[in-house]
Amino acid sequence: MRRIIFAALGVVALLAPFGGFAQREKTAFQTSSGWIPQIDVRSDMAIVYGTGDRKGMSFEQRVQSWRDHGYQIAFMTGIAWGAYFDYFLGKWDGQNHLGVGQVTQRGDTIWHGHNMPYVVPVASFLEYMKTAVVKRVIDAGVDRIFLEEPEFWARAGYSEPFKAEWQKFYGFPWRPQDASPENTYLSSKLKYQLYYNAIREVSNYAKAYARSRGMNLRVYIATHSLVNYSSWQIVSPEASLASLPGIDGYIAQVWTGTSREPTYFDGQKKERVFENAFLEYGSMLSMTAPTGRKLFFLTDPIEDWPRDWADYKRNYQATFTAEILYPTVDDYEVMPWPERIYTRPYKLAGSDSAVLIPHYYSTQMQVMINVLNKMPASTNRVSGVGSIGVLMSNSLMFQRFPTHDGYDDPQFSNFYGQTLPLVKRGVPVQTVHMENLGYPATLATVKVLVMSYSNMKPTSAMVHEQLARWVRHGGVLIYCGRDDDPYQSVMDWWDTKGRHYHAASEHLFGLLGLDPHAGTGRYPVGSGAVYVIRQDPKEFVLQHDGDGAYVDVLKKAFENDARGGALILKNSFYLQRGPYDIISVLDENPDATPYTVKGPVIDLFDPSLPVLDAKTVAPGEQSLLYDLARVPDKTRPSVLAAAARIYSETVTGRTFSFVAKSPVNTVNSMRVLLPGRPVEVRVTDSQGAAVADVQSSWDEGSHTEYLGFANSPDGVKVELALP
């Protein structure tokens, strides 16, 4: 019978350096706190939020506190709102600037917090951002800046600063957006342009000032997806920023709070968190990938609104699975606000009792975020037909508010009408950004492209030229729409400067050689084809069984015209990434068969990390597994999964040792691959003292040792004597 020995062995040499991780920036988190042991999550990069000083701690001291614990340092701040009280209340330049807030038709300012409005980015605000915020950050030696959430609410646009910006931009007096569809469209375009200009100006200043200090600064945008901003009726520059020379990449801010927005499908309105998250992450990828910019995927173990821990866990699994189903992205913001996750109580399910994060959830969550530290990029593709795309554009944000002439798009259903019928049938549909059509990679893998002008409009005539060229060279286009929404006649390129098209699609149809009013049917064009469906896509999801004809057209277009093989419809997504199996099984599908993966596998959504002979995933559920048949090197001892970050894995003689680090007040759970059952297990803290209450068990079938013990950010050393 083996012995578990808790020996007092020093570990100082193993704790510094931290195994070289500090040179990476694969994983990150954002925090407004200085370092404290409760939130030391051990990602590569700590993104320090805001330049505000805290009680007893300056901004510079906050930055240094994370540097002192081995982190790469970045900075994040809001570009449309923030704790800029010295600017808003007049300390900065002697003038009160609360009047720059975004204002609704009723005259109400839209607030993000007390004395913190969403701003119209006027010249004084941008000067403040540059000289009072960005300069201070660069002077503190920070060389990565994230500008967060350039947001202008669609319902805003009535303030005096906005009216002045209208006059400057359009050359004629402001018009109230509620008065006509054209005014709404013009108002939205201005909101978009104001934040495009703001990002350009602030990023250019940041790069120039950093160069003057001998620094190579990178600037990123942290933003919700185009899907979410359009759904929530917010206007932002989104895709256009990827082409700015001063922008190096994005954080895709997708989490339970965005993805639980109810959608319509099969006539029912309800939350569809996995499906929504899958589309949100996809839209961020299609926005960024053709430009070569870096992209971090974010998800959040909780959300902004108070729920219960069981709700957070269920929806975190759904959004987490959605993000890792995109195999080309392997950079992650593992969480925002760890201080909120680890130090704030929330309710238990079915109870009014509020507690700090339960150990079952913090352990599972830490296993998941440490998977992200190892998650490889992959050339594998998620199961199903991946060559069907849906066209989208920044102009999706321009038609969301208010409603005109009785035309409504409830819950953004014209978009979901094109996408959910595919996702729900196990088709990993791509979204394609209109703004990126000039990049060859944008349509490189797309055989069938679905589009509609029911909820967006083309940004230029060049878009149609690019689409027509693609079709003539063999692409298959499915156009859905009645073209009778009130935005068809807004003042834009298709009905100005000598053009007199009554609907934006008429110009495209002309380039394709089709009747501008072509009815429902199939039309050959060059080596490709065009299918016209004279329904708005919202009709596919607002009605029970409303998508059957749409799916039939997709099937014909894909199989017959695109010659893509059989259009496989199923109820699941499956992907292999390195040793990981990622599965999501869809509900609301005629096929209610669960998905089974044969083992042995480690269930990474179970905090006890069991080794299973098989894992069955039911409709509406997701799973993340470690396939023991795909261990990279089965002959070498290694930590396969852990609720802590592992450093200094070392084999010396017949001893395998490592150091585990994770926040205090959490519990580690780990599974270690070994050549045989260890004869001794030694577990000691950073001072060399024995760690109490260590769980240890051997699984002969998988040759893995399970260990469980209390975590420490200072490090827990494990030594396993091998047989």
Antiparallel, parallel or unpaired: β 294-298 and 332-336:
parallel
pLDDT band at 70; cut points 50, 70, 90 = very high
Per-residue pLDDT band for 107 (boundaries 50, 70, 90) equals very high
* Residue bearing tokens 């709070």: 257
589-608 per-position pLDDT tens digit: 999 999 999 999 999 999 99
Residue pair 308/354 in contact (Cβ under 8 Å)? The answer is no
pLDDT of residue 20: 39
Task: Say if residue 1's pLDDT is above 60.
Answer: no
Of 678, 718, 691, 673, residue with least CA distance to 1: 678
Task: Give the pLDDT score at 24.
Answer: 85
Mean pLDDT, residues 521-540: 98
Cα separation, 38 vs 316, whole angstroms: 21
Predicted local distance difference test score (pLDDT) of residue 16: 35
**How much is the pLDDT for 3?**
34
Question: Is residue 172's pLDDT more than 50?
Answer: yes
Evaluate if residue 370 carries a pLDDT over 80: yes
The per-residue pLDDT for range 406-415, each reduced to its tens digit, is 999 999 999 9
**How far out from the chain centre does Cα 231 lie?**
15
Please tell me the total number of residues recorded for the chain in this structure.
723
Confidence label for 242 from pLDDT (cuts 50, 70 and 90)? confident
What does 179-213 look like in DSSP terms, one character per residue? G-HHHHHHHHHHHHHHHHHHHHHHHHHHHHHHHHT
For the chain, domain boundaries:
638-721
pLDDT at residue 680 tops 90: yes
Strands (E), 327-459: 332-336, 346-347, 354-355, 388-392, 430-433, 448-451
Pick from 388, 389, 381, 400: nearest CA to 457: 400
pLDDT of res. 17: 33
pLDDT greater at residue 108 or residue 56:
108
Residue range 462-484: average pLDDT? 98
- Phi first, then psi, for residue 302 (nearest 5°) are -130, -155
What pLDDT is stored for residue 383 in this prediction?
98
pTM for the full model?
Answer: 0.96
Calculate what percentage of the chain has a pLDDT beyond 90: 94
Q: How far apart are CA 529 and CA 519, in angstroms?
A: 14
How large is the angle between the packed helices 273-288 and 309-324, nearest 10 degrees?
40
Is residue 98 over pLDDT 80?
yes
* Structure tokens given for 500: 């007199």
638-721 classified as CATH 3.40.190.10: no
Which element (helix H / strand E) includes 284? helix 273-288
Cα 253 from Cα 250, distance rounded (Å): 9
CA distance 389 to 289: 15
- pLDDT for residue 55: 87
pLDDT for 13 beyond 70: no
Percent pLDDT > 70 in the chain is 97
Closest Cα partner for 35 from 386, 242, 338? 338
Q: What pLDDT score does 10 carry?
A: 31
Sheet of 595-603, strands arranged across: 572-577, 580-585, 622-627, 595-603, 611-617
Mean pLDDT of 627-656: 96
DSSP assignment string, 77-134: EESS--S-HHHHTSTTTSS--GGGB-BBTTSPBPEEETTEE-B---HHHHHHIIIIII
pLDDT in tens, 410-453: 999 999 999 999 999 999 999 999 999 999 999 999 999 999 99
Q: How confident is the model at residue 243 (pLDDT cuts 50, 70, 90)?
A: confident
Q: What is the token pair recorded at 140?
A: 């503190």
Query: Which has more confidence, 245 or 569?
Result: 569
DSSP 501-524: -SSHHHHHHHHTT--TT--SEEEE
